[in-house]
Structure 1
Amino acid sequence: LKSVNIPVVEIWQLPSQPLDIAVGFSNFQAGYDMACHLIGKGKKNIAFIGGNERGNDRGCRRRDGYIAALADAKLPPIIWPSEEQGLPSGIELGAAVFEGCLKVNPAINAVMCVSDQVAVGVICEAKRRGVEVPGGLIVSGFGGFELAMSSGFDLTTIEIPGREIGVASAKALLDPEAARAKKVIDVGYTLVERGTT
């Protein structure tokens, strides 16, 4: 891509070395901030579920932010699955992995999920087991998808300004020289606390 004379805009994850122009946010910092939110709720046994699929750099960076926040709080990380699973990061993965996670560490009282879909799977499995959310377990997701909203699962999540990423990317393509002056356009994210924490 560097050899052709056209503007290149990388979106969503902000790379450390953009090819040309990057528009997005820091998955690492978002993961760190969400883990700090759960720690701030007084939780000490916080699991991270998802993000180990091959090629899922965004999920891995969220996981790395979680690990850093727990290290700063002097808490041990609990990462599930510990290796790549055959299931994609979705509702089924959340349910299946949470079940396995509880068998190994029944003291888990908070779960940070790589996506809202995984978080919904965790909530469904918790309900099947008679574990109240947020009474016995707090759960957070990532993405700010419709199912996370108050009319759905009322899920604490990180909301990403997808429209803003699209608009900033289009502007960068229309005026690449102005965008190249910045190189990286960080649109940020919002931690939205709802009923699951």
Structure 2
Amino acid sequence: MPNPKNIVILISGSGSNMASIVQAAQLQDWHQQFGASVVAVISNRPGAAGLQRATSLGVTTQLLDHRAFNSREAFDAALMQQVDSYQPALVVLAGFMRILTPGFVDHYTGRLINIHPSLLPAFTGINTHQRAINAGCLEAGCTVHQVTAELDHGPILAQAAVPVLPGDTADTLAARVLVQEHMLYPQAVRAWLQSQP
């Protein structure tokens, strides 16, 4: 099919959001609809369970251990080379626990997206669920956004909200938000593909 829309997913951990995207791509046959498929999953952590998960889903995996590099810039340059070898139309951050350098972000402007466990612009950074509880929020949730050089500040592509319930802990709230993440992220990737010429 002309103009294949290759998707590369970057992970650091269990890869649950990655798996939800790969499964949606396979079940909904994004290749037939958009010429799109997840062509690689890359992790910066050797023990990331998501690598085995991706392999079981039939996706090529690669490991690039950030500890083997003496600077963030050196790691990002090597990662960029690895990602670019797949000629991606879209790079998806799915629990990729690295702050990316401006050079990396600029290189993928308009085709680099992330999911964040809060209703941005509220609660950028970490510990989002506990911070939402501490602030007395009635709702929490997750946001898919384009990645820019400013952490968790790119244009918002999609959001899903859940109620903060009496007696919620960070863990119980996180579990409820994660269910939404697994539905929202594949929908947002699909919408991005549909928006492309």
Query: Which category of TM-score, normalised to the shorter sequence, fits these structures?
Result: 0.3 to 0.5
More strand, by proportion: 2
Structure 2 length as normaliser, TM-score?
Answer: 0.42
Report which of the two structures shows the higher radius of gyration computed on alpha carbons: 1
